[in-house]
Amino acid sequence: MMQATGRLQLDITARLSMSLNNTPMAGNQLNVISGNFVIAQPLGVDDGIDYCHSGRVRRIDIQGINRVLEQGSIALLGPVAGSVTGETFNLLSEEVATQVAIKLNADKLIGFCSEQGVLDEAGNAIAELFPSEVNQLIEQLEAKELADEGHSSGTLRFLRGAQSACRAGIPRCHLISYKIDGALIQELFSIDGIGTQIVMASAEQVRQADIDDIGGIFELIRPLEEKGILVRRSREQLEQEIHQFTLIEKDGLVIGCAALYPYQQEKMAEMACVAIHPDYRDGNRGVLLLNHMKQQSKMMGIEHIFVLTTHSLHWFREQGFLEVGVESLPMAKQDLYNLQRRSKILSVSV
């Protein structure tokens, strides 16, 4: 074990010593520092089984690791560590990584496994998991491990680590494949990533829009305005109406929006400018926005929501909207109704 770990450590150090001349980091040198940052203790004897040289983390010299990081070097830690008695113990690499990430207050914990992440029944990587879902998965994998005569899977070990990391406040843990070239870059620099992310709170959230969201909303609705699907809005109009908008945001990108214009006297409200980014359609996000608008309306004492649509008649019908005539609209809206656009009017009670 010591030989294998030592060889691996030297291999990684050699890779990180390679010339960076043909990369954007040309002229730089990576410094790699290893040491006795982790102190181990024996697992001991449990249930009559002597675990000999298998150990667990006793303590971590986090100040030492921070000093390495502050000077811009890479701290390379392995799964074999010394103890205070001078013996050497074999640790789980996932345990070392988790404990170090927690002590460092890291933003992320990233693990590599043979699969593309945690796979669903169809074999596709599940993009996002919450700690409660991780608990269920761990139970399933543990049952499988028992049936498989104790064959432990790297995914299971990582999920246990991710669970502890999430509980300790690490916002995101990622599991990606070591078999896919560039998996790390794809995971970190694409909106949906490539593997599985375990998150404390969803990367996607529904919230009221504010003035900083104008750019994002504009980008989302502009192509639909150009196709005549949505009525054109100027930037000034959007600025004035921004507080009427609710949006779905994912990692800083606006992927859905809708606006609600109340007509208090008639106890009616118009839902307008409903748009979901083309890459994120058919994921119930339209319904999510509609439910949000219904809740908002209820709180305002609104009884009916109406929409004017030219292209999404059937979608609204499927959500329980019924076609109504212009005369059902609030008077102020009837005056503004654009006869040439010939939009269909649909209404639903809240």
d(CA 293, CA 30): 52
Q: How far is the CB of 252 from ligand COA (least distance, A)?
A: 20
DSSP 179-205: SSTTHHHHHHHSSS-SSEEEESS-SEE
Minimum CB–partner distance for residue 240 and ligand COA (Å): 19
Residue 307 engages ligand COA in binding (rule: CB under 6 A): yes
- Which amino acid makes up residue 220? L
CB of 290 to ligand COA, least distance (A): 8
Of the pair 144, 232, the CB lying nearest ligand COA is at 232
Tell me how crowded residue 78 is: count the other CB atoms within 10 A of its CB.
Answer: 17
* Among positions 110, 224, 248, 293, the unique one binding ligand COA when judged by CB under 6 A: 224
- Given the complex with ligand COA, which of 120 and 279 has the nearer CB atom? 279
Of 179, 281, 298, 341, the one binding ligand COA by CB under 6 A: 281
**Reduced 3-state DSSP string for 67-83:** HHHHCCCEECCCCEEEE
Per the CB < 8 A criterion, the answer to whether 176 and 194 are in contact is: yes
Q: How far is the CB of 230 from ligand COA (least distance, A)?
A: 6
Instruction: Assess contact for 154 and 93: CB atoms under 8 A.
Output: no
- Exactly one of 286, 305, 321, 346 binds ligand COA (CB under 6 A); that residue is 286
- Shortest reach from residue 307's CB to ligand COA, in Å: 5
Please report whether residue 99 would count as binding ligand COA according to CB under 6 A: no
Cβ proximity to ligand COA: between 138 and 288 the closer is 288
Per the structure block, which two tokens stand in for 316? Answer: 């609204």
Which one of 229, 242, 324, 350 is in contact with ligand COA (CB under 6 A)?
Answer: 229
Nearest Cα residue to 89 out of 123, 40, 47, 138: 40
Q: Which residues contact 61 (CB under 8 A, 6 or more apart)?
A: 36, 37, 38, 39
Q: Does 315 bind ligand COA (CB under 6 A)?
A: yes
Which of 283, 304, 324, 350 touches ligand COA (CB under 6 A)? 283
Of 157, 179, 180, 160, residue with least CA distance to 168: 160
Which 246-275 residues touch ligand COA, going by CB under 6 A? 272, 274-275
**Binding residues for ligand COA, how many (CB under 6 A)?**
19
Bridge partners, residue 54, by sequence: 90
Which residue among 163, 196, 246, 312 contacts ligand COA (CB under 6 A)? 312
- Among 296, 309, 329, 345, which residue sits at the site for ligand COA (rule: CB under 6 A)? 309
CA–CA dist 165, 99 (Å, integer): 8
Closer by beta carbon to ligand COA, 173 or else 220: 220
Q: Which of 285, 292, 294, 333 binds ligand COA (CB under 6 A)?
A: 285
Give the nearest residue (CB) to ligand COA. Answer: 286
> Within 13 Å, how many C-alpha atoms sit on residue 337's CB side?
21
Which helix (H) or strand (E) element contains residue 59? strand 55-60
Q: Which stretch binds ligand COA (CB under 6 A): 56-64, 124-132, 137-145, 282-290?
A: 282-290
Q: Does 183 bind ligand COA (CB under 6 A)?
A: no
By beta-carbon proximity to ligand COA, the closer residue of 4 and 191 is 191
E strand or H helix at 249: strand 245-250
Write out the residues near ligand COA by the rule CB under 6 A. 224, 229, 272, 274-276, 281-287, 307, 309, 311-312, 314-315
